[in-house]
Amino acid sequence: MTEKVLLRDTQILSEDWGTLSRVTLDYQRDDGTVQRLSREVYDHGNAAAILLYNPESRSVLLVRQFRYPVMANGDPAFLLEVCAGLLDGDDPKNCAEREALEETGHAPSDVVHVCDAYMSPGSVTEKVSLFLGHYGAETYRSAGGGLVDEGEEIEVVELAFAAAFKMIGTGEITDAKTIVLLQHLALKLASQ
Tell me the per-residue pLDDT of 34-54, one tens digit each, with 9 for 90 and over: 999 999 999 999 999 999 999
Distance CA 89, CA 172 (A): 32
155: left (phi over 0), alpha (psi -120 to 50) or beta: beta
pLDDT band, residue 1 (cuts 50/70/90): low
Write out pLDDT tens, residues 131-154: 999 999 999 998 887 777 777 788
Question: 3-class SS at 18?
Answer: coil
116: left (phi over 0), alpha (psi -120 to 50) or beta: beta
Distance CA 184, CA 53 (A): 12
Distance CA 82, CA 95 (A): 13
What average pLDDT is seen over the chain?
95
What pLDDT is recorded for position 147? 74
Enumerate residues 6+ apart whose C-beta is below 8 A from 18: 42, 43, 44, 45
